[in-house]
Amino acid sequence: MAHIHVMTGAGDRLDLPVIRHITLADLGLALARGAADFWARPSHYVLLMLIYPIIGIVLTIWMNGFNTWPLLYPLVGGFALIGPLAALPLYEISRRREAGLDPSWRDAIRVVHSPAMGGIVAVGVLLFVMFTLWLASAQALYESLFGAAPPHTLTALLAQVTGAPGGATLLILGTGLGALFALAALCTSVIAFPLLLDRDVGAYVAVETSLRAVWHNPVPLLAWGVIVGAGLFLGALPLFVGLAVVLPIFGHATWHLYRLLVEPASMIRSMEQ
C-alpha cells in the first residue's frame, strides 16, 4: 500500500484542495513575505544555499575541461526546472515561522523526515526527468546546427552564437524550447512541494492541484514563472553566487504563494460540517 500513499496521500479519500483566484498584486505580496522570511535569518539561509553557487562553479570548471560549453545556457535555465525541489528546506522554514516557531537551519534539514517524503520524491523525479530531457533536447538542437564538435572556450561559444549563421536560430529555438520545458515544470510543480509539506496529499493530488492553480490563474502564474526565471538567470550570472540570495527569497515566496492560492484545509472542513 506504500505506493498508493505516495500517489494519493495518507487519507482514506482523494482530497482535492480548493483553488483561490489571485491577482498580479498578490505576487508582490508573496515576494514581500518571502523577503521578510529571508531577512529574518539570512545567515542560515545563505549557508543552506551556498551549495548551489558551489555546484555552479564546479559545473563551470567541468564545462571548461570537457568542452561542454554549449550546455551552459541549458544548465542555467535548468534551475527553473529543479528550483522547486531545491527550495524544499526553505518551504519548511516558512512553514515553521508561520506557526510562530523560531526555525534554524537544522529544522530545514529535518524536512527529509516529512511523512510526505514519498510524494515529494515522486514529484522530484518528474522534475529531474524534465531536466534531463531539456539537456538532451538542447544538445541535439546544438548538434543539428553546428555539428558534434563543441567550442573549447566560452569566448568561442559566444562568437559562434553571435557570428555564425545558425547562431540566431539556436538562440530563438533554444529559448522557445526551454520556455516549453519551464512551462511544463511550472504547471506541474508551482505549489506541489509546499502542498505536500502542508497536507501529505500524495504526488497525484499535488501535481493535479498545481495544474488547476495555473488553469484558474493563468496570467498571475505565468507572470510568476517569468519573474522566477529572470531572477534565477540574473542570480546565476556572477558564477551562480547570486543564487545564494535569489533562491531563498523565491523559495520562501513560493510558500506564501501557495497560501494565497489554496484554501486552508481547516476552512474546508468547517464548511463541510
- At residue 262, the 3 state secondary structure works out as strand
* Contact (Cβ atoms closer than 8 angstroms) between residue 134 and residue 180: no
pTM: 0.82
Give the pLDDT of residue 236: 72
What pLDDT is attached to residue 264?
86
For residue 124, the Cα-to-chain-centroid distance in whole angstroms is: 10
Alpha-carbon distances of 231 from 36, 250, 265, rounded to whole Å: 17, 9, 32
Q: Exposure string (b/e) for 46-83, b if CB count within 10 Å is 16 or more?
A: bebbeebbeebeebbeebeeeeebbbbbbbbbbbbbbb
Provide the residue type at 148 as one letter. A
Nearest to 120 by CA among 204, 211, 13: 204
Residue 70 carries which side chain, given as an amino acid letter? P
Taking Cα atoms as reference points, which of 94, 84, 92, 87 lies closest to residue 36? 94
Ranges under pLDDT 70 in the chain = 1-14, 42-69, 152-154, 238-240, 266-273
pLDDT for 216: 96
DSSP state of 241: T
| Cβ–Cβ < 8 Å for 50, 43 | no
What is the number of other CB atoms lying within 10 angstroms of the CB of residue 136?
11
Check residue 271 and give its pLDDT: 36
Judge contact between 81 and 134, C-beta under 8 A.
Answer: yes
The torsion defined by the Cα of 136, 186, 211 and 193, in degrees rounded to 10, comes to 100
Predicted local distance difference test score (pLDDT) of residue 31 = 96
Q: What is the per-residue pLDDT for 272?
A: 38
What pLDDT does 33 receive? Answer: 94
Give dist(CA 188, CA 268) in Å, integer.
Answer: 23
Dig out the grid coordinates for 14 from the structure. Answer: 482523494
Question: In sequence order, what are the beta bridge partners of 262?
Answer: 19
pLDDT at residue 214 in the model: 96
